[in-house]
Amino acid sequence: MAENRWLATGNFFTSYRAEQRIFLTNIDRLVFTCFLLLLFVWPLVFEVSNKYMLVIDTILIAIVAVYGLNLLTGFAGLISIGHAAFVGVGAYTLATFARILGSDHVLLTHYWPLMILLAGGVGAVIGAIVGLPSLRLKHLYLVIATLSFQMIFQWTINFSRFYDQGQTIAIGRVFWFAGKVTRKQHYFFWYYVILLVVVVLGFAVRNLLRSKHGRCLVAVRDNDRAADAMGIHPGFTKVYAFALSGFFAGVAGALHAYLWRGVGFESFTLHHSISYLAMAIVGGLGTLVGSFFGPVAILMLELQVENIAEFVGHYFTAIGDVATAFRPLSFGLVIVLFLMFEPRGIANWWRITRTYFKLWPFRY
């Protein structure tokens, strides 16, 4: 019996090729296409304030960064708490050009797609270098190595005169076919650019995971000795995972620099690294969809906690310190609760929901 590509209620793969499909059913493809269309069309239909466009753009950038972290930590099993520093490397690549050539130099304003790629490339190189200790270190020791990189990055920027000691280095407005992107168009323009990057890189990750280059990450994560026995070079794979992660982080950093029209040290601190890790955990480590859910959940939570903290801080002055503590408290609590009760993250809820609809009206 030929398989029904529309109403498959289970896994009826007859070949490895079938199992490696990007979309398992036509319904999946249809839903994804509709969703993508919706993402591209809604800003043209609804009027959204700049504030919320900024929030949405920030979430999309975080998704790009979490792609990288998920590849490194989720798929390759290498924990990193220096991811914000990798994002910073991308952003400071642009800042370096801005300091040397000026913030409005044609390279930054007209050749921005190339600059974004270049930032990704620099991120990859630095990622590979930072990944070298992973040849000798594992688990907590590797965490300390990535933490060291975070600290070195912070120290370098904070004490470097060239980088204005972490003060914001301005990046000029970009140009595209219709001329200079004005302040009014800024957030919408970058929404489409970042969305495009998210979609392209999302497909890239999905495809990577279908290939031997992606599967080797999982193999090394699950058992590096077994992977070695099968002909995979564990050391190279680990360094490659760091480089890959650095590339995504670098791209995210460049997008961040363009969106915020400047690069400042305070966007790439240890706190941000832990945020990225929280996004990956809450979203679901080792899943592609987790890279979407995590940033949305954490950044929306942050927004809500900010509102509560503001309310408390403003109207209950005497407990202002409690309001200050709300953010780290809520943040830590969410991570702990997810680790305890849903270690597979929101991606698992998504899997359960999908399975329900796939089987509906049957229960199993």
Partner 1 sequence: MKNKQVTFMLVGLSFLLMLGFSAQALAGETYPIALSLAITGPTSDVGSPYSKGVEDYCKYVNDEKLLGDDKLECFIRDDGYKTEVTKRNFEDFLDEKIVFYLNYSTGSTMAMRKDFDEEKIPTLPASFHAGNLVDSTYVFLPISSYSSQAVGLAEYVAANHKGSGKPKVALFLHPSAFGRAPRDDVKKAIAAGLNIDLVEIVEHGKDLDNTAMLQRFKSKGVQYVISQTVQPPVATMLKGAQSLGMIAKTYGEAGKITFLGCHYAGGPDLIGLAGSAAENYYWTTSYKLMTAPGPGTDAQLALAKRYGRDEKVAQSQNYTNGIMVVQVAVEAMRRAKTKGKKVTRASLYEEMLAMNGYNAFYPLTTVGPVTFSKTDREGVDTLQLYVAKDGVFHELGLPFASEYVKKIK
Does 327 bind partner 1 (CB under 8 A)? Our answer is yes
List the interface residues with partner 1, window 41-100 (CB under 8 A). 49-51, 54-55, 58
Nearest-angstrom CA–CA distance, 299 and 283: 12
Q: Which two tokens stand for residue 102?
A: 């000026």
The three-class DSSP label of residue 263 is strand
Compute the distance between CA of residue 364 and CA of residue 358 in angstroms, rounded to an integer. Answer: 10
Q: How far apart are CA 333 and CA 262, in angstroms?
A: 32
CB of 193 vs partner 1, minimal distance in Å: 18
317 binds partner 1 (CB under 8 A): yes
Site for partner 1 contains 158 (CB under 8 A): yes
Tokens at 286, concatenated = 């080792």
Q: 364: burial class by Cβ within 10 Å (0-12, 13-18, 19+)?
A: exposed
Q: Which stretches within 211-233 are classed as H helix?
A: 212-222, 224-229
Among residues 336, 313, 339, 335, which one has the least CA distance to residue 324? 313
To partner 1, the closest distance from the beta carbon of 73 in angstroms equals 24
Cβ closer to partner 1: 29 or 327? 327
19: contact with partner 1 by CB under 8 A:
no
**Among residue numbers 242 through 281, which ones bind partner 1 (CB under 8 A)?**
260-262, 264, 266-267
Which member of 111, 188, 326, 350 binds partner 1 (CB under 8 A)?
Answer: 326
DSSP bridge pairs for 169: 263
Instruction: Identify which of residues 76 and 279 has a Cβ nearer to partner 1 in the complex.
Output: 279
Q: Is the peptide bond before 43 cis (omega within 30 degrees of 0)?
A: no
Shortest spacing between CB 254 and partner 1, in angstroms: 17
- By CB under 8 A, tell whether 179 contacts partner 1: no
Kindly state whether residue 295 participates in binding partner 1, applying the rule CB under 8 A. no
Q: By CB under 8 A, name the binding residues for partner 1.
A: 49-51, 54-55, 58, 158, 165-168, 170, 183, 260-262, 264, 266-267, 306, 309-310, 312-314, 317, 320, 323-324, 326-327
